[in-house]
Structure 1
Amino acid sequence: MAKSKDVRVRVILECTSCVRNNVTKESPGISRYITQKNRHKTPSRLELRKFCPYCSKHTIHGEIKK
């Protein structure tokens, strides 16, 4: 079965500062958001400022692979 070629795709955004700060088993986790983007208008990776509950501030969340 072939993948669909939909224009709008689902992407996962992950906090970049939590990833950089070496998450260990003691840390609470990594903030992730799920959103959609238009594949034709935004072919590059998406980066948005979102609230990270683990950092307790607004940080840049970047698109990751599924």
Structure 2
Amino acid sequence: MAKRKNVRAKGKKGKDVRVRVILECNSCLRNSVNKRSTGISRYITQKNQHNTPNPLELRKFCPYCYKHTIHGEINK
């Protein structure tokens, strides 16, 4: 029986490429001063650091604003 060498997975070199990010509604933050919304909408997703090094912004539905708004990446 032959001994197996320690083999690394192909394509993976060190640091993880995919990271988990939190997206937060931008209009809830602005309207919280007016007490229009009762909370802040947040989504959890993943992004590829090599393809999108800039902060991620997606248009998602906000249940507090009752419409589709821009959700931006926040720091953990």
TM-score, length of structure 2 as denominator length: 0.74
Residue ranges of structure 1 left out of the alignment (5+ in a row): none
Runs ≥4 residues deviating over 6 A = none
Specify which structure has the higher proportion of strand: 1
Residue ranges of structure 2 left out of the alignment (5+ in a row): 1-13
Higher relative contact order (CA 8 A, sep 6+): 1
Could you say what the CA RMSD is over the residues aligned between the two structures, in angstroms? 2.1
CA distance in 1, matches of 2:36, 2:16: 40
Percent sequence identity over matched residues? 79
Q: How many residues are paired up? A: 63
Specify which structure has the higher proportion of helix: 2
In our comparison, the structure showing a higher alpha carbon Rg is 2
Change in Cα spacing, 1:47 to 1:26, as seen in structure 2 (3 Å) is closer
TM-score, length of structure 1 as denominator length: 0.85
